[in-house]
Structures are given as structure tokens and as C-alpha cells.
Amino acid sequence: MSKRIGKQTVELINRPKIISTGTVVGPKEGEGPLSKYFDVILEDDKNGQETFEKAESSLVTTAVNKALEKANLKNTDIHYIFAGDLLNQLSASTFALRGLEIPFIGLYGACSTMALSLSMAAMNVDGEFSDYSIAATSSHFSTAERQFRTPLEYGGQKKVTSQWTVTASGAAIVSSKGGEIYPQITHVTTGKIMDYGITDANNMGAAMAPAAVDTIKQHLRDTGRTPDYYDVIATGDLGSYGMELTKKLLLEYGYDVSKVYIDCGVEIFKENNGDKSNPDKCGDKCLDGVMCGGSGCGCSASVFCGYLYKSLLNGKFKKVLLVSTGALLSTTTSLQGESIPGIAHAVAIEFGGAKC
């Protein structure tokens, strides 16, 4: 029995559940309107470590351990961990996880990695290869600046279309166990690499928008759903500019997502108008200095594992489509004049999603 529906989507017949999440964010992310949804907010973005890279690893460890602790599980209960990050050779993840003794699958999808790791963990559980799998990812403002742009000491200026790499990690435990009280992963739509020839590394939203559009469109076509089937369709981190582009392009394909559409990169850094307890009261303006909004794997990881997951648990949302988006460039490819391909992966998380 094939689980495939349509061109790029599979339905997960066994309905893997997300039984727990763990999140940790940096001080700046803790100033945003989603602060109450995060498990740990750092006071120091070095988290007591010698280097930013080691700090990022410590975030991954913190998020994974939080998720384990909340599910009352030990590392030895976990059959696989699917993880990756933005650093060269996934060093934030591998150095964080080397002590955990869990079979490790390293993934790279740039900022799409949270939806990618959730997709893979969900298929793994659905295919009966594991009872418990972890999906995790991270990013850190200062490691990303050093690796992709310029060292912080250089004081490089941001452009209006730039985004601010989120310092955060999120981990989710996906399981065949647990009852209907947990949100279930019902569908996975895996993205293709899209390249519309964008070469401006300060405008990643534009580079990633076509990938988000393609994956959302394909998900809706494959499942026969309309945008308003979902309470929320959340793109990973297109920022305010990429978000507008995505809305407009989807409308050209006949899909009006405007009523349910949010972007994790915009949500995490929305100016909260002094009311931290209610993200719905925020306007569309972002915190000072973050320009178009947040980016980095840790962005959709922390927003999903924090705000969206907890809003599923508390009944605010019943059906969420997470569409993390990634820009697949490297400093070498940019120096060699290459364009910036994008990718987006979608995961549907629901209560009581009808089985096909």
C-alpha cells in the first residue's frame, strides 16, 4: 500500500504524534512577543561557553534535554535523532549530540531544516522503524554572521531586505506512542530545489519565496485542501518582504492564504507594543534592527516547538501547516557568481486529521 498522494506528498497512515518539544532562545528573541512560549531564555548568548560555536552546540543540547525531560524519556529510549544546522559540516549538531549515544542522521536544508527533520522523523516513526525519534535544529546570530557574512567586529551594515539570524534551538520528539491528546503529523510534502536566479544574499526572502510557493501549492493540490483548511500556514523565515511576495504569488495560482498565513521570522521579532503576553496584539512592525525579521534554522524550530506546538496543545490551533524555507547558498558559490537556490518542506500537524 503506497502512502503517496499526488506528486510530492505522503500521508502518514500511522499518525505519528509529537509528544514533547524543547526550546531555548537568545536574549533578543526573549524580547519578542513569543517569549512566554520558550522553555529557556538565555541572558547571555554565549551561554557561558568560550565561543559562539560552542554556545550554539549548548543550545542544541539544552533543547534536546528539555524535550526528553518533559516526555519523561532518557536518551536510550530514542531510536534516531534527525538534526542539522547552518554551520559548515553541521558542527553545532554533531558536537552537541556526540555524548548522547543516539543513532544520528545529519540533515542539511539551510533554514528549512526544522520541517525537514520533522518530515524525516515522522516518516521514520510512521514506517515503524522507531518508537521515538527526535527532530532538532539550531542557529545562532553570531556563528552565522561569522561564517556567512563578516565577523561581528567588522560592523557590517544590514540592508532593508536583510534578516536577522535567530539564536535558538528547538527539538521535538515524534512517537508512535501517546494518545489523541498529542498533535499528529498527518502529511509530509517534500520540496524540490527552486532557482529563480536571485543573487542578492541580502534578500533571502526573495530567493526562498518561490520555493515556499511551490511547496504550499503542491501540498494543497496533492491533498485537495484549501488554505483555510488550516488554522495557520507558517512559512519558516521569509521575513516581511518574502512573505508579501509569497502571498502575491500564491494568489496568482488561485490560492488566497491571507487569512491564515504567518511567517515565523516575522512573528518572533514583532514589536510587542508593551504587551508580552499577547502576540495577537502585535502590529506588523518588527523590533528595531532586525530589518525584515528573523531567519536561521532556529527560527522556525523555536517558533514551531514553542508557540505553534503549545498553541496546538492548548486548543488555540487544531491544524497547522509548517513550511520551513531554506536558501541553499554557500560563501563559495556566491563568490563564484552563482544564484541562490531555495527549498521548502511542508509538514501538516493536526488533531483528528481524516485518514484517506
Residues that bind a second copy (CB under 8 A): 1-4, 8, 10, 50-51, 53-54, 79-80, 84, 86-91, 94-95, 97-98, 100-110, 116, 120, 123-124, 126-131, 147, 190-195, 328-333, 336, 338, 341, 343
Please check whether residue 270 is in contact with residue 297, taking contact to mean a CB–CB distance below 8 angstroms: no
CB of 183 to a second copy, least distance (A): 21
Distance CA 273, CA 338 (A): 41
Distance CA 96, CA 49 (A): 13
CB of 151 to a second copy, least distance (A): 12
CB of 14 to a second copy, least distance (A): 10
Nearer Cβ to a second copy (90/264):
90
Nearer Cβ to a second copy (71/83):
83
Q: Which of 72, 90, 106 is nearest to 175 (CA)?
A: 72
CB of 114 to a second copy, least distance (A): 13
Please check whether residue 144 is in contact with residue 153, taking contact to mean a CB–CB distance below 8 angstroms: no
Q: Which of 245, 246, 286 is nearest to 266 (CA)?
A: 286
Nearer Cβ to a second copy (311/325):
325
CB of 55 to a second copy, least distance (A): 12
CB of 9 to a second copy, least distance (A): 9
CB of 51 to a second copy, least distance (A): 6
* Pairing mode of beta strands 132-139, 184-189: unpaired
How buried is residue 89: exposed, middle or buried, by Cβ count under 10 Å (0-12/13-18/19+)?
exposed
Nearer Cβ to a second copy (192/318):
192
Nearer Cβ to a second copy (48/285):
48
Q: What is the DSSP string of 308-341?
A: IHHHHHTTS-SEEEEEEEEE---HHHHHTT----
CB of 94 to a second copy, least distance (A): 4
Nearer Cβ to a second copy (20/147):
147
Q: How many other C-beta atoms are found inside a 10 Å radius of the C-beta of residue 72?
A: 9
Distance CA 301, CA 175 (A): 18
Please check whether residue 186 is in contact with residue 354, taking contact to mean a CB–CB distance below 8 angstroms: no
Distance CA 296, CA 302 (A): 10
> What contacts 177, CB < 8 A, 6 or more positions away?
17, 19, 131, 132
CB of 140 to a second copy, least distance (A): 12
Q: Which of 83, 115, 106, 88 is nearest to 191 (CA)?
A: 115
Nearer Cβ to a second copy (292/329):
329
Nearer Cβ to a second copy (31/339):
339
Please check whether residue 156 is in contact with residue 150, taking contact to mean a CB–CB distance below 8 angstroms: yes
Half-sphere exposure of 230 (CA within 13 A, CB side): 31
Nearer Cβ to a second copy (87/172):
87
